[in-house]
C-alpha cells in the first residue's frame, strides 16, 4: 500500500488556506479542511483518478471549485506537493 506524505510547502498552503477562511467562517473552514483530508487519503488507493498536472509528472485533484491539490504518485508513495487556490499561478 502507498504511503501519503506532505511536503512542507503543501502543509503550509493547507494551514494558511484554512486559517484564512476561518477568519470569516469557522464552519466553512472546518468543512474544507475535512474535505481536503478525506480526498487526499483516497489518493493512496486511487492516485490516477484525477487529471494530469500542468507540470510533467504531477497530477491535480480539484477538491473544491476554488482549491487544487497537486501531487505525485509512485508505487510506494503519494506526495502532496501544494494546495493551491484555483486563481494562483502554477507552476
pLDDT band for 88, please (50, 70, 90 cuts): confident
Residue 62 has pLDDT above 80, yes or no: yes
Q: How far apart are CA 1 and CA 14, in angstroms?
A: 24
d(CA 81, CA 21): 21
CA atoms in the 13 A half-sphere facing the CB of 86? 7
Is pLDDT above 90 for 72? yes
Residue 91 lies in a domain: no
Could you tell me if 42 and 61 are in contact, meaning their C-beta atoms sit under 8 angstroms apart?
A: no
Give the pLDDT confidence of 33-43 residue by residue, as tens digits: 999 999 999 99
| Residue 44, domain member (yes or no) | yes
Residue 90: inside a domain, yes or no?
Answer: no
Query: Based on the structure, what is the number of domains in the chain?
Result: 1
Domain of 68: which CATH number? 3.30.2310.20
Q: pTM above the 0.75 mark?
A: yes
DSSP string over 54-87 = SSTT-EEEEEETTEEEEEEE-SSEEEEEEEEETT
Domain range enclosing 19:
3-85
Confidence band, pLDDT 50/70/90 cuts, at residue 28: very high
Amino acid at each position: 500500500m502507498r504511503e501519503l506524505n506532505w511536503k512542507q510547502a503543501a502543509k503550509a498552503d493547507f494551514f494558511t488556506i484554512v486559517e484564512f477562511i476561518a477568519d470569516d467562517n469557522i464552519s466553512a473552514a472546518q468543512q474544507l479542511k475535512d474535505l481536503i483530508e478525506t480526498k487526499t487519503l483516497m489518493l493512496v488507493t486511487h492516485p490516477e483518478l484525477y487529471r494530469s498536472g500542468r507540470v510533467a509528472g504531477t497530477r491535480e485533484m480539484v477538491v473544491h471549485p476554488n482549491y487544487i491539490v497537486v501531487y505525485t504518485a509512485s508505487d510506494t508513495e503519494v506526495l502532496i506537493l501544494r494546495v493551491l487556490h484555483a486563481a494562483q499561478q502554477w507552476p
